[in-house]
Amino acid sequence: MKVGIVGSGFVGATAAYAMVVQGVAREIVLIDLNTARAKAEADDIAHATPFTHATHVYAGDYADLAGSQVVVICAGVNQKPGETRLQLLERNAAVFRSIIPRILTHAPNAVLLVTTNPVDVMTHLAARYAAAHGVPSSRVIGSGTVLDTGRFQAMLGRYLDVDPHHIHGYVLGEHGDSEVIAWSSVRVGSLALDDFNRKRGIVLDTAIRDEITHRVRDAAYSIIEGKGATYYGIGAALAEIVDVILDNRRSIMTVCTPVPEVVGVADVTVSLPHLVGGSGVMATFPPMLNDTERELLHRSAMIIREAIAELDQAASDRQAEAGKDSTPAT
């Protein structure tokens, strides 16, 4: 089982290391514009294999992606001082327009797993570029709110004093400030959250729920403030998603992929509970939400939809301007 990783920075390298530790793949190839960085990361990770799992880890080029079942895309550019969000999106869109065809030329049957932020918009663009090569959107997925959902399960499990593996609850929508915790559908084992709390005599009032929501939503900010970047959590999350795909485990995960409509917003990419297997997204399960949560998810989806529309309008304006410049004088 072979995995390609395009982008060998903190996230890409940590994902590779997590896969080695968990024994997810037999072969991992790291690709980066900075070839020295890719080789150094691959060598460092390879030196861990005698103590973990026998995985062939090496640096390569796009041609080395041949035979990959999954290609994880971590490539992208960082925001420059004074640069607007739209300008950053346009530069990352240019990166994806370049790398998606190169990936699919050598790994035409791979599932593409996007983690470049803003992951919702970038997954939408990746699916658009992949469609030109005959790849269905179901084979283009983003890491979405898988990490956010894990953070929620961990925090709530700690509060309830329950193994987080037995907390069933989802973070939906944007991977960002507008994400929505679906409190109304949380289950502990087979029990609704409120029923579990009554049986255990646990108080989980609005103030406590708001505090957990705030800590989940702002987790990345506090980590970045303390150490400059987040990579362990997302690296482990990516390893888990890749493992689900390679083993065709058919797990319910809050990845993101383009959907025709969600709570009244058309043609958008947000995180929802999806059935994930060897071919990517196999089915989507619209969550059961109360009215407030539906309104919040609608707002979150609209933020992503507006960002996509803004990006498309900027591209259209550039094309129109280029057409004017090329019009011969009369």
> What is the rounded average pLDDT of the residues 204-208?
94
Whole-number pLDDT of residue 314: 81
In the chain, which residues fall in CATH 3.90.110.10? 146-306
Share of the chain above pLDDT 90, in %: 82
Identity of residue 3: V
User: Which strand ranges, in their side-by-side order, compose the sheet holding 187-188?
Assistant: 167-168, 187-188, 191-192
Whole-number pLDDT of residue 326: 59
In the chain, which residues fall in CATH 3.40.50.720? 2-142
Whole-number pLDDT of residue 117: 87
The residue with greater pLDDT, 189 or 323, is 189
For residues 41 and 265, give the distance between their C-alpha atoms in angstroms, rounded to a whole number: 41
The residues pairing with 167 across neighbouring beta strands, listed in sequence order, are 188
The residues pairing with 113 across neighbouring beta strands, listed in sequence order, are 72, 141
Whole-number pLDDT of residue 104: 97
For residues 92 and 262, give the distance between their C-alpha atoms in angstroms, rounded to a whole number: 25
- In CATH terms, 146-306 corresponds, of 3.30.70.20, 3.90.110.10, 2.30.30.180, 3.20.20.20, to 3.90.110.10
* CATH architecture of the domain formed by 2-142: 3-Layer(aba) Sandwich (3.40)
Whole-number pLDDT of residue 328: 58
Whether residue 166 lies in the annotated active site? no
pTM higher than 0.85 = yes
User: Residue 327 has which token pair?
Assistant: 């019009």
> What is the rounded average pLDDT of the residues 147-175?
95
| Ramachandran angles phi, psi of 259, nearest 5° | -130, 150
Among candidate residues 175, 214, 274, 298, the one labeled active-site is: 175
Query: E strands within the chain?
Result: 2-6, 27-31, 56-59, 70-73, 111-114, 140-142, 167-168, 171-172, 180-181, 187-188, 191-192, 251-253, 256-262, 265-271, 274-277, 280-284
The mean predicted confidence, pLDDT, of the chain is 93
Q: Has residue 318 got a pLDDT over 60?
A: yes
Whole-number pLDDT of residue 287: 83
Kindly report, residue by residue over 99-148, the tens digit of the pLDDT.
Answer: 999 999 999 999 999 999 889 999 999 999 999 999 999 999 999 999 99
